[in-house]
Structure 1
Amino acid sequence: MLLALVVVYPLITALATAFFEQSLVLPGREFVGLANIIDVLGGEFPQLLAQTLVFTVGATVLPFVIGFAIALALNTRIRGAKVMRGLMLIPWLVPGVVVSFLWMWIFNANYGVMNAALQSIGVIDEPQAWLAQPATAMGAVILAKTWQSFPWMMVMLLAGLQTVPRELHEAAEMDGAGTVRRFSAVTVPHMKGIISLVLLLEFIWNFQHFEIIYVLTGGGPAGSTQTFATAVYETAFHGFDLGRAGAIGLLWMLLLMVLVVVYVRFTEKGENR
């Protein structure tokens, strides 16, 4: 009963809005069938899908590479590994809104650390407005999300690395396999399950991510960082068009359901092994 009141009823009510012409500021609503959905599909949907995928893929692959590299380093017998492991978790513990304001300061065109650092090494000649240019805004958002995401991926991958038997590495080394060969032939195959799970979960979370994108750019400039999450919010609470927002949300949920089905199939496959 509690689940129905808290989850099921609000979800069904929100999705049903897609089939009505309804305003946030005007009373009443009119049933329009599939008109809102057809309008969205013929309008901004392709761009929203493309930009959401760009953000999702970038904010999944980049923290995975960084997290895996750090996990490999921490899995060796280096001094201070436990302390470093704890320090690396700090970005993951910081709330998303705080992360957003931190990176907004870093990317600031007038006094941002990014401009100062790049100018000092001669990469750029003058300060850049990273969050105000369509060519760089998405990359900046992905970088901010990467900083927040890589710690949990590092922890998961480090846990997986510690399950790889050292005997396998020692045997491969005795057979003449180098570091790269041992990594590709021993480490990666043994960690295939955890790697797939980490990438899949991060992809699903990024596909519905909202706060960092919205606080940093609000979906701009010129809609270049607009994703499904920010588009639903903007359409409903700035455009006051609940019907159109519901249509975007319905299409977004259908795509998410595909990802959830993939995740469920993957976990069931892992349990049956």
Structure 2
Amino acid sequence: MTLASPTLKSSDEGGSAHGRKLSNGAFAILLTLPGLALFAAIVLYPLIASITTGFFKQDLRFPGRTWVGFDNFADVLSDDFTAILEHTLVFTIGATVAPFVIGLALALALNSGIRGSGFLRGMFLFPWVIPGVVVSFLWMWIFNANYGVLNGALLKAGIIDESVSWLGEPTTAMLAVIITKTWASFPWMMVMLLAGLQTVPQELHEAAAVDGAGAVRRFRAVTWPGIRAVAGITVLLEFIWNFQHFDTIYVLTGGGPAGATETFAVAVYQDAFKGYDLGHATALGGLWMLLLLVLVGVYLKTSERETK
């Protein structure tokens, strides 16, 4: 019995050492292989195939394709890339700033302890839970030139003399799209900002009030520094999502009138499935992806800095 113990102990140590070696090397690879295979199948391969298509002339109506090199990218840059980028930035900035301002104002109001804040919070979340296509059709009815609610209200108030084609005029179509997206986006920004406001210690507000600071001064010195990180991440995420937004714009205007609301998402869809030019659409999508990668890089750097 005395002589057998060291042998068993040695065997256990050897098995344990072998197990540690496997867990640090081959075992870890085996665990990640299913995830890597799935990623390669549904993300990596379609991405590489899409980028490759940008170097070919390919029509969806006919089989086969022809190598054209960088001609598709040159056509995109010399055609309407600048106008599409401008429309995308106008929509993205407008549909980010407007809901942020509304969401911040509502978050401040709800955080102040007004009566019925719980009920109001639930009501304000209502636009957020409605599908985007349903929201778009709702606002299409509101903006309708013939029987829209907006024209009816403005005519009765005497603000306009005749009906306005809000979605049919280049000067008003983008504004209408931004308003629609703002109505759908402000609730989630309000929730994020309200969560940030509730982390700011109430003692700091009370101390600032004792020192004679007014509401504006307390906001600048106490409230904003406490929610700046949350606000920055929220705005950046909303900016990225709006930069690639599709459904609201396409349902309301389809990129019109006269291309006034044509963003990258709409332009890629139009080129691929209405113009049947898959090579041109892929080239435009590739340049769009590069711009998105820049935004994602900014988000990652910002979030990394805020977590330190």
SS at match of 1:196: helix
TM (normalized to structure 1)?
0.98
Q: Which runs of 5+ in 1 are unaligned?
A: none
Whole-Å separation in 1 of the counterparts to 2:65 and 2:144: 43
Residue 89 (structure 1) aligned with residue 119 (structure 2)? no
- Aligned pairs for 1:69-218 within 5 A: 69-218=105-254
Find the counterpart in structure 2 of residue 256 from structure 1.
292
Find the counterpart in structure 1 of residue 28 from structure 2.
none
TM (normalized to structure 2)?
0.87
Q: Which amino acid in the other structure matches residue 179 of structure 1?
A: A
SS at match of 1:248: helix
SS at match of 2:282: helix
Q: Which amino acid in the other structure matches residue 240 of structure 2?
A: I
Whole-Å separation in 1 of the counterparts to 2:224 and 2:77: 40
Whole-Å separation in 1 of the counterparts to 2:159 and 2:193: 33
- 1:6-54, Cα deviation, whole Å (9 max, x unpaired): 1111111112111111101011111111110011111110000000000
Whole-Å separation in 2 of the counterparts to 1:23 and 1:82: 55
Whole-Å separation in 2 of the counterparts to 1:145 and 1:250: 25
Whole-Å separation in 2 of the counterparts to 1:78 and 1:98: 31
Whole-Å separation in 1 of the counterparts to 2:157 and 2:270: 39
Residue 243 (structure 1) aligned with residue 279 (structure 2)? yes
Of residues 242-251 and 1-10 in structure 1, the stretch that sits farther from structure 2 once superposed is 1-10
Residue 29 (structure 1) aligned with residue 65 (structure 2)? yes
The CA deviation at 1:120 is 2.3
- 1:149-192, Cα deviation, whole Å (9 max, x unpaired): 00000000000011111111111111111111111111111111
2:83 equivalent among 44, 47, 63: 47
Residue 13 (structure 1) aligned with residue 49 (structure 2)? yes
SS at match of 1:132: coil
Find the counterpart in structure 2 of residue 224 from structure 1.
260
- Aligned pairs for 1:53-68 within 5 A: 53-68=89-104
Whole-Å separation in 2 of the counterparts to 1:168 and 1:122: 48
Whole-Å separation in 2 of the counterparts to 1:120 and 1:70: 29
The CA deviation at 1:121 is 2.2
Superposition misfits of 4+ residues, deviation over 3 angstroms:
none
Of residues 226-235 and 73-82 in structure 1, the stretch that sits farther from structure 2 once superposed is 73-82
Whole-Å separation in 2 of the counterparts to 1:123 and 1:253: 43
The CA deviation at 1:119 is 1.8
SS at match of 1:219: coil
The CA deviation at 1:256 is 0.1
Q: Which amino acid in the other structure matches residue 233 of structure 2?
A: L
Q: Which amino acid in the other structure matches residue 220 of structure 1?
A: G
Of residues 54-63 and 77-86 in structure 1, the stretch that sits farther from structure 2 once superposed is 77-86
Whole-Å separation in 1 of the counterparts to 2:68 and 2:204: 63
Of residues 116-125 and 248-257 in structure 1, the stretch that sits farther from structure 2 once superposed is 116-125
SS at match of 1:130: coil
The CA deviation at 1:122 is 2.2
Q: Which amino acid in the other structure matches residue 151 of structure 2?
A: N
Whole-Å separation in 1 of the counterparts to 2:233 and 2:159: 37
Find the counterpart in structure 1 of residue 40 from structure 2.
4
The CA deviation at 1:77 is 1.5
Residue 38 (structure 1) aligned with residue 74 (structure 2)? yes
Whole-Å separation in 2 of the counterparts to 1:184 and 1:270: 19
Q: How many residues align?
A: 272
